[in-house]
Structure 1
Amino acid sequence: MARFIFVTGGVVSSLGKGLLSASLGALLQARGYKVRIRKFDPYLNVDPGTMSPYQHGEVYVTDDGAETDLDLGHYERYTGVSSRQSDNITTGRIYRDIIAKERRGDYLGATVQVIPHVTNAIKEFALAETDDVDFVICEIGGTVGDIESLPFIESIRQLRNDLGRDQTVSVHTTLVPWIAAAGELKTKPTQQSVRELSSLGVQPEVLLCRSDRPLPESEREKIALFCNVRKSAVIPALDARNIYDVPLQYHEAGLDDEVLYAFGIKDAPAPDLTRWREIMDRIDHYESEVTIGVVGKYVGLPDAYKSLREALVHGGIANRTKVNIEWIDAEIFEHPESDIVAQLEPLNAILVPGGFGERGSEGKIASVKFAREREIPFFGICLGMQMACIEGARNTAGISEASTTEFGPTSEPVVGLITEWMSPEGLQARAEGGDLGGTMRLGAYPAKLDGNSVVRGIYGKDEISERHRHRYEVNSHYKDALEKGGLVFSGMSPDGRLPEIVERPDHPWFIGVQFHPELKSRPFDPHPLFAGFIEAALKQSRLV
């Protein structure tokens, strides 16, 4: 039977519960255990799919098409275990399902209440599909004390009683702030947070104390005394020099040992952390540097491109190269006074990422043109590929009015709304004006690669599977015209209807993909497209 680890946070948000959960999963994996990590999100949205990146960061997409919290990206990158639809739940989804059952009469006339109906639904989610794993790590979003998180904390309390204390452990993250005026660290916020959690019926066994400086032994003793835990279970969590050093740092601090002790497991094998040490060796002892320009529209919030940033780092790890990222707002290239040459010429490569809406689109197209004409390595992802096709249509295929119907009516719809496609569940159909949530082409889909293409050489195989999240597609009716202009369609859906990859064979490195390869990149298994992109940027840097 699986053992459950519940991760909560107190004092403030953004203490790193996601990285804690991912790192703990990696450490347990390193000891030979099978793990699964889940995220409980208290907000009322059914999923983050309709939320602005400025509100919630990126939307992480799973193989089976779930639009999920970005923390699931951390889980996958650290453990290599693909997340599923059943690994992220929100209050909105729970209430939607409960109300649907009530309308059908499934509750046989009972009054539907938070307890037991909502809490039962949360517990069912936590327990589902866990027979094949040793540990299930459940991260509770938000901060203890928030009104919206109360049903989740109550569900944890009930599960600890249902399963028994030898099957559940609570790990609580808190903040130990440094007060400059007093010249000391303060433990009171941690004490108050644990008291709040305990008042709700959950006594944590392990405390993870975030601090910007070492936690003195006297302060650990005080926290242990007031919070009713072992001193060794007060784990200091200092800011890490790199997020991939966090598993090693937490192991040195004793996190995995304390969690196993709380379960009564005393004969666990020692962890094999070789691959994490190799990753850090490659990061610390890099042999070269490159600068990548990311021309996007959400550059004011790095979390909007979280997986993209990490995939670029992974490409650097593959090449023992430090990757410096210049975040460039695409809108600046839409102003007449902007100097695109001054902005882009110093770069070793240019990447145009995904996004939605017209804002910044002409700036992205200008960036594509610059990369093509100056023979700078270019990588276009999702909307970035679509902008590359529009740029090619306008400037190399003679279609001056080329555009996308996403931005309004156009006489030359090189990119248009995808109305139907085949999925594992059968034919999918969409109509203009329908719901936005969950209606895109989502999840993993196969693509066939041209045998003589650049991407065939990069992947080393004829068929691939990549994750998608988009509502518009490049119009294959323009395929011949674009290819005459030098933009080759080197990857297509198996039925030959949907363009998946375009490239310019006469360019040092020019590739656009309709999918999101960053979602499948791992530090110990960098995505081949990102490894190839950084390699091309490295060659470019040596030409300058």
Structure 2
Amino acid sequence: MTRFIFITGGVVSSLGKGLMAASLAALLQARGYKVRIRKFDPYLNVDPGTMSPYQHGEVYVTDDGAETDLDLGHYERFTGVPARQSDNITSGRIYRDIITKERRGDYLGATVQVIPHVTNEIKQFAQDDVEGLDFVLCEIGGTVGDIESLPFMEALRQLRNDLGRNRTCFVHLTLVPYIAAAGELKTKPTQHSVRDLTSLGIQPDVLVCRCDRPLPDGERAKIALFCNVPKHHVIPALDASSIYEVPIQYSAAGLDAAVLDSFDLPNAGMPDLRRWSDILDRLQNPEGEVTIGVVGKYVGLADAYKSLNEALVHGGIANRVKVNIRWIDAELFEKDAGDIALALEPMNAILVPGGFGERGSEGKIASVKFARERKVPYFGICLGMQMACIEGARNTAGIVGASTTEFGPTDEPVVGLITEWMTAEGLQKREAGGDLGGTMRLGAYEATLAGNSHVASVYGATAIQERHRHRYEVNVHYKPALEAGGMVFSGMSPDGALPEIVERPDHPWFIGVQFHPELKSKPFDPHPLFASFIEAAVKQSRLV
């Protein structure tokens, strides 16, 4: 019998609902339960694929090609359970599907309304594809009181009635702010948030209270009294030194025990947290440190590269070193070439991540050239691989006008739009003037690695599967010229049509990949490319 945990937030956004959901799922896993986490997003976009990283952060891509909220990255990193299409739904997708059905006549002339049609779709989504699971955790985006989230709240209220209290639990995350002038934590915002939630017909079973200092016993009792929950179901959530400390903190505070108690399930004993204790020990007791320069386009918002940030940390965990990340705006290198050496010389390694558009591209190319000439470890991801190929074409293969059609017409399209590729469903075709949303090469694809290549030794395999999100690809027709300039195409699609990985054998560590390896990295299972990259940075640090 699958049980459902509904996670809501109140008072303010950015309290960490996604991190709390991921941590709770990890704790339930550590008690031997099978879990899955889902995200309900109230916005009207069908998915975040066309949203600016500055507004929404990164787009997290699943194996089956869904463009989803970045919280699904937390879910995977904390549980190891691969996310899929059925784990993220938006209001836009729900309304699109309902309107499509209405136009087809599926409702047989009925008046289509929020209740029951929209709420039924939400309820169906929550309950689909749950066979064999003990718990499904459903996080609702936004905060209580948002107009756009009301259909979701109503659907969850109905689900409690449909399934019963023994199969549903509501966990509400709120803020308990400290008022310096008064010298105390204030519980009133939490009380108001719970009142708003109960006005929608939902009584929370567990309250998680974000605060920047310990929650006194008196305030905890006050919250329990006014919010109608048992005192031991009021869980303090203090700031942590690392997100990977959060499961340990929540366990010590009794979050998983309170949730199990709300289901009348046994909660004696403690979860097995040895995995998380080891991760925390490696983070808190490093044996060295390295500095990685990330030359990107969206460096003004850390969430734009959330999975990348975490994958670099995971590489540090694998090598037991602290990873200092320096976010560098690629545009800076386009104004003054002297800035390149000034910014990059202190770096033990350089990484150019994915991105879209021409802005900052010449700065990225200049960073590739610096790393190649100075023998500094270089890692290019997606656009970072394409920039490496353009730099190689210009400076080692003699193709001075090398560029990409993404930035406009060019006589030397070393990188061009993918017009067709093979999937499990058959041949996929795209046109330059088509829709942007959901039309990229998305999801997991296989690649074949050259047996004597650097990447084959890193992976310990010659057949891999990695997640993609891109419209443009290195033009395979330029392969001979680039290889003549010292670059090796060490990974290709199984049919040999699409370049997947390039490297330079004459360089200590120079790898470019068309896919996004950061999406599959986990703290307890660091991605081999990031583990190897940080290892190379450690070696570089010893040469300085």
Q: What range is the shorter-chain TM-score in?
A: over 0.9
How far the C-alpha of 1:338 sits from its partner, in A, is 4.4
The secondary structure found in structure 2 opposite 1:166 is: helix
Q: Deviations over 1:43-83 (max 9, x none)?
A: 00000000000000000000000000000000000000000
Q: Which residue is equivalent to 2:258?
A: 258
Cα distance in structure 2, aligned partners of 1:179 and 1:336: 46
Long gaps (5+) in structure 2: none
Cα distance in structure 1, aligned partners of 2:174 and 2:341: 47
Q: Determine whether 1:220 maps to 2:217.
A: no
How far the C-alpha of 1:270 sits from its partner, in A, is 3.6
Does the Cα contact within 8 Å between 1:332 and 1:338 map onto a contact in 2? no
Cα distance in structure 1, aligned partners of 2:50 and 2:123: 26
Long gaps (5+) in structure 1: none
Does the Cα contact within 8 Å between 2:296 and 2:330 map onto a contact in 1? yes
Q: Deviations over 1:459-505 (max 9, x none)?
A: 00110000000000000000000000001000000000000000000
Q: Which residue is equivalent to 1:312?
A: 312
Q: Deviations over 1:8-49 (max 9, x none)?
A: 000000010000000000000000000000000000000000
Please show how residues 341-490 of structure 1 align to structure 2 within 5 Å. 341-490=341-490
Cα distance in structure 1, aligned partners of 2:430 and 2:337: 41
Please show how residues 239-318 of structure 1 align to structure 2 within 5 Å. 239-266=239-266, 270-318=270-318
How far the C-alpha of 1:164 sits from its partner, in A, is 0.4
The secondary structure found in structure 1 opposite 2:529 is: helix
**Matched letter for residue 33 of structure 2:** Y
Cα distance in structure 1, aligned partners of 2:214 and 2:167: 32
The secondary structure found in structure 1 opposite 2:39 is: strand
Please show how residues 123-272 of structure 1 align to structure 2 within 5 Å. 123-266=123-266, 270-272=270-272
What percent identity do the matched residue pairs reach? 80
Distance 1:97 1:269, change over 3 A: farther
Cα distance in structure 2, aligned partners of 1:179 and 1:529: 46
**Matched letter for residue 81 of structure 1:** V
Cα distance in structure 1, aligned partners of 2:135 and 2:268: 13
How far the C-alpha of 1:266 sits from its partner, in A, is 1.9
Cα distance in structure 1, aligned partners of 2:94 and 2:339: 50
The secondary structure found in structure 2 opposite 1:486 is: coil
The secondary structure found in structure 2 opposite 1:149 is: helix
Cα distance in structure 1, aligned partners of 2:45 and 2:360: 27
The secondary structure found in structure 2 opposite 1:530 is: helix
Distance 1:337 1:515, change over 3 A: closer
Q: Determine whether 1:53 maps to 2:53.
A: yes
Q: Deviations over 1:382-403 (max 9, x none)?
A: 0000000000000000000000
Does the Cα contact within 8 Å between 2:43 and 2:92 map onto a contact in 1? yes
The secondary structure found in structure 2 opposite 1:110 is: coil
**Matched letter for residue 166 of structure 2:** D
The secondary structure found in structure 1 opposite 2:165 is: coil
How far the C-alpha of 1:421 sits from its partner, in A, is 0.1
Q: Which residue is equivalent to 2:66?
A: 66
Distance 1:375 1:337, change over 3 A: closer
Cα distance in structure 2, aligned partners of 1:74 and 1:268: 27
**Matched letter for residue 55 of structure 1:** Q
Cα distance in structure 2, aligned partners of 1:395 and 1:63: 36
Q: Which residue is equivalent to 2:102?
A: 102
Cα distance in structure 2, aligned partners of 1:12 and 1:269: 34
The secondary structure found in structure 2 opposite 1:83 is: coil
Q: Which residue is equivalent to 1:75?
A: 75
Does the Cα contact within 8 Å between 2:450 and 2:490 map onto a contact in 1? yes
Q: Which residue is equivalent to 2:17?
A: 17
How far the C-alpha of 1:424 sits from its partner, in A, is 1.0
The secondary structure found in structure 2 opposite 1:240 is: coil
Q: Which residue is equivalent to 1:529?
A: 529
Does the Cα contact within 8 Å between 2:260 and 2:267 map onto a contact in 1? no
Q: Which residue is equivalent to 1:540?
A: 540
**Matched letter for residue 398 of structure 1:** G
Please show how residues 490-509 of structure 1 align to structure 2 within 5 Å. 490-509=490-509
Cα distance in structure 2, aligned partners of 1:426 and 1:179: 60
Does the Cα contact within 8 Å between 2:354 and 2:382 map onto a contact in 1? yes
Q: Which residue is equivalent to 1:119?
A: 119
How far the C-alpha of 1:120 sits from its partner, in A, is 0.1
Cα distance in structure 1, aligned partners of 2:268 and 2:125: 28
Does the Cα contact within 8 Å between 1:31 and 1:269 map onto a contact in 2? no
**Matched letter for residue 351 of structure 1:** L
Instruction: Point out 4+ residue stretches in structure 1 off by more than 3 angstroms.
Output: 267-270
Cα distance in structure 1, aligned partners of 2:334 and 2:449: 35
Give the TM-score normalised by structure 1. Answer: 0.99
Cα distance in structure 2, aligned partners of 1:534 and 1:336: 29
Q: Deviations over 1:426-461 (max 9, x none)?
A: 100000110000000000000000001000000001
Does the Cα contact within 8 Å between 1:31 and 1:268 map onto a contact in 2? no
Cα distance in structure 1, aligned partners of 2:132 and 2:373: 53
Does the Cα contact within 8 Å between 2:257 and 2:267 map onto a contact in 1? no
How far the C-alpha of 1:336 sits from its partner, in A, is 2.9
Cα distance in structure 2, aligned partners of 1:442 and 1:344: 32
Does the Cα contact within 8 Å between 2:2 and 2:135 map onto a contact in 1? yes
Q: Which residue is equivalent to 2:88?
A: 88
Does the Cα contact within 8 Å between 1:32 and 1:269 map onto a contact in 2? no
Q: Which residue is equivalent to 2:324?
A: 324
**Matched letter for residue 216 of structure 2:** P
Give the TM-score normalised by structure 2. Answer: 0.99
Cα distance in structure 2, aligned partners of 1:299 and 1:348: 19
Cα distance in structure 1, aligned partners of 2:297 and 2:55: 14
Does the Cα contact within 8 Å between 1:289 and 1:321 map onto a contact in 2? yes
The secondary structure found in structure 2 opposite 1:339 is: helix
Cα distance in structure 2, aligned partners of 1:268 and 1:304: 40
Cα distance in structure 2, aligned partners of 1:67 and 1:491: 25
Cα distance in structure 2, aligned partners of 1:7 and 1:522: 23
Cα distance in structure 2, aligned partners of 1:131 and 1:339: 56
**Matched letter for residue 365 of structure 1:** I
Does the Cα contact within 8 Å between 2:261 and 2:267 map onto a contact in 1? no
Does the Cα contact within 8 Å between 1:46 and 1:91 map onto a contact in 2? yes
How far the C-alpha of 1:267 sits from its partner, in A, is 5.4
Distance 1:464 1:274, change over 3 A: same
**Matched letter for residue 41 of structure 1:** D
Q: Determine whether 1:33 maps to 2:38.
A: no
**Matched letter for residue 92 of structure 1:** G
The secondary structure found in structure 2 opposite 1:117 is: helix
